[in-house]
Structure 1
């Protein structure tokens, strides 16, 4: 032991070897020799003689094959050499020989974590910390693994499992080991935002910034929440804070451009979105937002080009795909196949993303009341609401059951009035905002809806994903869109002979059902006041106006409008 204590490992090894030869039954000599050979191996490895170090570890195990540190140190060497299978075997043998070998469990966890086997890594860290509760490296590794597992399982952005509640549980468990780990705190904020619990999301994003003031992502996501709450000044402040941390942060540049678009600052919006694209040329959503900017400015051709660039990058981009179809209506008449084929091709691609219901539980009893469902995000002060109010109010509730699926983002007084009317008449109202469209399809199936009517088409926040699942035997589109949806799972489109004359050459995937007279029934707002005499009576002339968005005011529309005042002037002259 004197040689070993003084650091003379070679001499110590020789002494123990002689002792073993002199008395093979003397067990301590073998044990001490294994210790010295292992220490010698580590010394050689640290000196750059890795192969010789491995040799000494192996010699230690030949002398004493139950010596756990020799297995452990072999595992360390093989890990450094990236021979992880060998390393894992060595750590496992070390833990088998010494069940309280915390370091071995910790290093096993590192290998499993790097392989993406997070559950196995967490199990190893738990063993390690049960042995050594204050093992800081293991604590830190556990926090990272739990946070990664929470993101893998609970974060819809990575599209793996999508169990947000389980993800939240893992993040919280991570914070048990390190309560100020900024990544776990940030991910909790993200999870709560996905769960539409925005108050909690704000709390955790702000905590993430407290623990990591350089977390640009937290600033950006706070901006998104404030923007959705119409607090644009606060949103801009958050985006600018994110950009002060990461000047080329494409998401914040893009989001700032979106706010500028909403505010009507078109030049500033274009500048920001273009900077986002320069920072990330593969940023499909930025091209989509550039398209929205061009559309709002009335440059529909440029808008369509931007949408198509977005789709080149991300062919399954729902926003760009549907925005392109909507924009095409402004410049294509639909008398040729171009518009029809664009919708039909979109429908085919979209259908692949949604599994169809293979069996429906609707009763075959002939004289039972029909169950009719209406799905829309527009049961608020929106143009669709003025046309759906009368049908919902005057529906034949006595002979059919009505189920309203409301995807309203921000309910208002009109939403509450609609809901009250439907419930008082014996209908069912389901709030589906934030619920996955496939799950909404399951709800439709559980409600045994016979006829499902969607009221949105390719406009904002639609539920065409639900329609693609075909949860009802008969599916219909009505009111919200002037063209075919392109979805083969929608059977009928309700229209009339004025909007779609029987002689029309425009093609539809759906079968057209023409209501007599008009397919729309307008209910004016109670706040609109009484109808007054036309000002033309007192003015002596007619004033023409339009409240449409700029995208609809195309050169062809202007040509038609130009003929109207000319015709009026001609009549006046007569």
Structure 2
């Protein structure tokens, strides 16, 4: 989700007139006074007090004329005042106000500067100079003007507010330039001048979120909303944090609050749709994401999320259409580009060149975003241990973790040094266990979540990794950007993706002869390295428990089952399943999948099987099981399940 900056309210200091309630005094009154003082000066040109009073009256007359719409006549009177008294600061100041209103800012600045020169304590002049500089984007100059203003008038509230606005803008500017710590310092300084300035609080929330200091981000988003109850953006960003922390109910609450403020707020419509997708509530999720697109037809990421929804619901064709619509709007969308490739695996099945060409073309485009290293400082010493690096976001209770645990634990530490780059979003007990085992065996564990991929590539070079193995491919939270930099002389892909990455910087793909037979027609940009027998090494979960007695012995019938996402259960797979069950009398099918909490998804799935000859009464559909222990225990419901789970 992109950061949304709030509209600021910029204040000009009000014109400081030389008489009270001048706006309700008729210009006629000042014309009469002008005549009186001019008459006095004609009688005695050296009458200094009369000259001073005439300058005041002419200035007041100019303001009175301006307020009734005679702007040019007003300007003329200001200049007449200065002709009588060239040192009369309010005339310069009011000229500055008029020229500011006429958007002649260079002239206005000159007038304000002259006013301040004649009256060094003229706080309003400094303040309005600051406004002009701020609106020009010259934030340091604006801040200097506000500082001069507050030096002579410390309690000038408009100047303090404007200072807070300028400091907040400067904080955002330096943050976007890469100095996030200085940005935070400016935001905090803004709150010194205006302790209830919600924009500064909001932007502190954004900054702390980018720094992964989410507890601090929550505090400042809540403060921003407290001081500005119309700040839907703060509510939205709170929802993002809670969603990433798996507090989905709280996330929904925040998004709903944002939408109560801004009903057509496309980001919150999209984000709440994402949460409902995660929960398997596909119908309401689709409705909300579609509303986000209606509210903002160029909202590329909403199309990507709609694609994810369709993929999870098993509608791959619609998913690919949505990803491609996203890419039309944003050709560089990494999420949509990679999600499209992943989805194509489910329908192309690797039997034609289209799938390979899509990966290869993506890789060529993606490579242009990164500079590649062409030399490495690794010592070419055959006696030293080789440094092997592994990078993945899946070193937690994730399917990949069951296949990487054994390699991490059983590395030959005498001949190989292990470095793990963990991009895990939310560590769990398994992450901690992996880290402890790697370090105990002399390896290095680096947490790289949230770190720019180019910086991670630099870390790999500093660690002098010889062989870098990525375990994700085009699945979520991958580090292919780092691999595109080629930080290691030899780069490999393994385990997490069933196809080529398409990246020319990845040299090898580890597989076996069963998954990729030697005579396979499927193409790869990598060279295939086929391990003997099997390219995977499975470590069972301790939560799985002992293998139970087969249910068929007590039930009297065979139960087939699959716990998987619907994208993998293609029409061809369903045809095979239906044929098997129809050939085994009284057998049943149990399928567990997140979207089965949605009635429309359940009905469509059962209807498809019924059309293939399998009665719906023989099928049990289970929704997502949240706890891994309960998920593992649910396998005891089945006698036979396909190994592609």
Normalised TM-score (structure 1): 0.89
Classify the secondary structure of the residue corresponding to 1:546.
strand
Which residue among 148, 162, 170 is the counterpart of 1:127? 148
**Partner of 1:572 in structure 2?**
none
| Offset from partner CA, 1:145-198 (integer Å, 9 cap, x none) | 2222223333xxxxx324332222122111111111122222222222222222
Question: How much does 1:424 deviate?
Answer: 0.7
| Offset from partner CA, 1:109-140 (integer Å, 9 cap, x none) | 11111122222222221221122111111111
**Partner of 2:543 in structure 1?**
527
CA distance in 2, matches of 1:17, 1:372: 95
Query: Tell me, which stretches of 5 or more residues in structure 1 are unaligned?
Result: 155-159, 570-574
**Partner of 2:365 in structure 1?**
349
CA distance in 2, matches of 1:307, 1:485: 18
Map of 1:6-45 to 2, 5 A cutoff?
Answer: 7=30, 8-11=32-35, 14-15=38-39, 18=42, 22=45, 34-45=55-66
- Is 1:450 the counterpart of 2:463? The answer is no
CA distance in 2, matches of 1:449, 1:211: 50
Which residue among 409, 430, 440 is the counterpart of 2:446? 430
Classify the secondary structure of the residue corresponding to 1:109.
helix
- Compute the RMSD of aligned alpha carbons: 2.7
Question: How much does 1:334 deviate?
Answer: 2.2
**Partner of 1:157 in structure 2?**
none
CA distance in 2, matches of 1:38, 1:55: 10
Higher relative contact order (CA 8 A, sep 6+): 2
CA distance in 1, matches of 2:258, 2:372: 42
| Offset from partner CA, 1:484-513 (integer Å, 9 cap, x none) | 112222222122222222222222222222
Which residue among 392, 396, 399 is the counterpart of 1:376? 392
Map of 1:375-524 to 2, 5 A cutoff?
Answer: 375-524=391-540
* CA pair 472-30 structure 1, distance change in 2 beyond 3 A: farther
* CA pair 518-143 structure 1, distance change in 2 beyond 3 A: same
CA distance in 2, matches of 1:561, 1:115: 68
- Is 1:48 the counterpart of 2:69? The answer is yes
Aligned residues between the structures: 557
- Is 1:93 the counterpart of 2:114? The answer is yes
- Is 1:295 the counterpart of 2:311? The answer is yes
**Partner of 1:113 in structure 2?**
134
* CA pair 310-30 structure 1, distance change in 2 beyond 3 A: same
Question: How much does 1:535 deviate?
Answer: 6.2
Once the two structures are overlaid, the 10-residue window that deviates more, 488-497 or 404-413, is: 488-497
Which residue among 131, 138, 142 is the counterpart of 2:163? 142
Are 2:387 and 2:418, in contact at CA under 8 Å, matched by a contact in 1?
yes
* CA pair 99-465 structure 1, distance change in 2 beyond 3 A: farther
CA distance in 1, matches of 2:42, 2:373: 79
Once the two structures are overlaid, the 10-residue window that deviates more, 182-191 or 423-432, is: 182-191
**Partner of 1:553 in structure 2?**
569
CA distance in 1, matches of 2:411, 2:121: 73
CA distance in 2, matches of 1:327, 1:425: 39
Normalised TM-score (structure 2): 0.80
Are 1:57 and 1:74, in contact at CA under 8 Å, matched by a contact in 2?
yes
**Partner of 2:614 in structure 1?**
none
Are 1:16 and 1:33, in contact at CA under 8 Å, matched by a contact in 2?
no
Question: How much does 1:391 deviate?
Answer: 1.0
Once the two structures are overlaid, the 10-residue window that deviates more, 223-232 or 382-391, is: 223-232
Which residue among 180, 196, 199 is the counterpart of 2:196? 180
**Partner of 1:304 in structure 2?**
320
Are 2:356 and 2:500, in contact at CA under 8 Å, matched by a contact in 1?
yes
